[in-house]
Amino acid sequence: MTAQVSSQETTAMDAMQNEVLAEVRNHIGHLTLNRPAGLNALTLNMVRRLQNQLNAWAEDSQVNAVVLRGAGEKAFCAGGDIRSLYDSYKNGDTLHEDFFVEEYALDLAIHNYCKPVLALMDGFVLGGGMGLVQGADMRVVTERSRLAMPEVGIGYFPDVGGSYFLPRIPGELGIYLGVSGVQIRAADALYCGLADWYLESDKLGSLDEQLDHLEWHDSPLKDLQGVLAKLAVQQLPDAPLIALRPAIDHFFALPDVASMVEQMREVTVADSHAWATATADLLESRSPLAMGVTLEMLRRGRKLSLEQCFALELHLDRQWFERGDLIEGVRALLIDKDKQPRWNPPTLQALHAEHVESFFTGFEQSGS
């Protein structure tokens, strides 16, 4: 029996060791999220391994730059391992508290990293995956890329720096993405400034080959941009959000989500009736509380520094498991899978401004 337990423990430790792969080739540190069966969703172990490796490479004069990617063809990273956070809260553990503190610290470290970071955003890039890539110097999308901050769909809010990078997208596009949680593809990602380069997925191997044989001349950033310029483009035609921009800028500038839904059903802007009706239906399926807090958070985030935005998100996190809709959202979508979340409050009409505002009470006094 002892040998069997030991064998199981060894297997588990090996699996954790392999959740993030690290190697250096031609003065480039390659980090690979390696949970493809779980769409490379982040665990606390992965966050710590990424942080430790980035810290080590920051001090290593033989490493000029870092490349981030996900194993497999389906996802760079489809977010955090939400199930483990649910279990932690239900069991009275601290994982759900520790995870966000360390995840945000990692995301902030990437924003401030001392060496160029190239993120290969192939496949799904959702939630926590967006947190990893939005601080990178070069963000590459492919035809398989699907980007989103979908948290409102599980009764949460777009975190991992979303309160900083979403409201800085032109017009109300970032408010739309955060409040609705919709996915966008490569052309829209470039249009929104959430990606810098488009590269067809079948050229990722060529990119690796060129990086492996890159001769370093100028600054590491310029050298890497030179490689990308040979293989990738920085704009794509026909981004769907361009045509929807007038409607998005109108509806998502309204005072609250209830007003947005009401007008989407009554007012036509720039021939967008079908989109507006579908968007109203979508918003009415999301957590009213999560959308209300998200809207307030993003509008506040426009005036906050990056560090203040992460502090605000932690301020909300500390209340959310008790007072928010995340536990119910995870129950409905991942645990019982009845897909019938009982949001509290159940409708946008029942959500009061004072309730939303209460989540932000004390933030100004908390050293923001």
Catalytic residue among 80, 153, 174, 324: 80
Distance CA 116, CA 100 (A): 25
**Residue 223 among the catalytic residues:** no
For the CA atoms of 334, 337, 339, 344, the dihedral, rounded to the nearest 10 degrees, stands at -60
Distance CA 14, CA 203 (A): 31
Distance CA 19, CA 7 (A): 19
Catalytic residue among 19, 107, 137, 151: 151
Scored b (16 or more CB within 10 A) or e, 221-258 reads bebbbebbeebbeeebeebebeebbebbbbbbebebbb
Distance CA 46, CA 35 (A): 10
Distance CA 240, CA 233 (A): 18
* First CA to last CA distance, the chain: 53
Catalytic residue among 103, 122, 137, 159: 159
Scored b (16 or more CB within 10 A) or e, 271-304 reads ebeebbeebbebbbebbbbbbbbbbbbbebbeeb
Catalytic residue among 70, 79, 128, 162: 128
SS3 7: helix
8 near 39, Cβ under 8 Å? Answer: no
DSSP 313-328: HHHHHHHHHHHSSHHH
Give the other-Cβ count within 10 Å of 90's Cβ: 14
36 prior amide bond cis, ω within 30: no
**Residue 151 among the catalytic residues:** yes
Closest CA to 60 of 27, 12, 36: 27
Catalytically active residues, by annotation? 80, 128, 151, 159
